[in-house]
Amino acid sequence: MRNARGGNNPDVCRFALDCEALGGEGITVHPRPDERHIRRSDVFALRPLLRTEFNIEGYPSREFIDLVLQVKPAQVTLVPDAPDQITSNHGWDTVAHQEFLSEVVGTFKEAGIRTSVFVDPDVTMVEYAAKAGADRVELYTEPYAAGYAAGREAAIAPYVEAAHAAKKFGLGLNAGHDLSLDNLAYFAQHVPHLDEVSIGHALICDALYLGLAETIRRYKQCLTIGN
């Protein structure tokens, strides 16, 4: 919204701090190469202000790696997005990109930054993320969201299996993409060992109708129900 109009309205830093004050337990940003969402300057501005966990996600280009190493967030999430991709729509093939991911993960771990790899809910992809040295995986949840209405039991099944695999291979477990007030509670109820979820687009859409405070309260309630 800000970038579409220019200026600084809405103020990204103020909004992030409001999310924290209202109960948000972490802030995730995705600085894309064209800066159409978060700008590099936003990342630097947010770092000293935030009191909760800061997660930077993106494709590990040289520029992105340098940015993360300068900012030193609590967590970096590696996604396989092309520069012109509208949004993330698949996880890494951690087998095919094993060498590349191992090198990138090693760089971040040397800097003391927890590293998560974005994967589809596939046991093999989870296993090879662990072999690459990742600390966590983030499960790509759009297929779950898309299949939820037609059959939530079938939609959740591969995520449960992937969660057990993550635990087996010593990985923490994150999840994100298209989780919403409609499907989050069921996901949290049935997927074990879940450390965190990242929710952006749906939360902002809900906040337009419910207000930010009520929206955050409802999302946290979904997670409480899940636990």
Active site residue 20: no
Give me the mean pLDDT over the 156-165 stretch: 98
Catalytic, out of 20, 127, 138, 177:
177
Active site residue 30: yes
Q: What is the pLDDT of residues 42-91, one digit of tens each?
A: 999 999 999 999 999 999 999 999 999 999 999 999 999 766 655 666 89
Q: In the CATH hierarchy, which top-level class contains the domain 2-226?
A: alpha beta
Active site residue 153: no
- For the chain, give every domain's residue range: 2-226
* Model pLDDT, residue 185: 97
- Residue 174 buriedness (CB in 10 A; 0-12 / 13-18 / 19+): buried
Q: What is the pLDDT of residues 132-147, one digit of tens each?
A: 999 999 999 999 999 9
Average pLDDT over the chain reads 95
* Model pLDDT, residue 86: 52
* Model pLDDT, residue 83: 62
Catalytic, out of 20, 57, 138, 196:
57
Judge whether 207 and 218 are in contact, CB under 8 Å.
no
* Model pLDDT, residue 98: 97
The pTM score is: 0.94
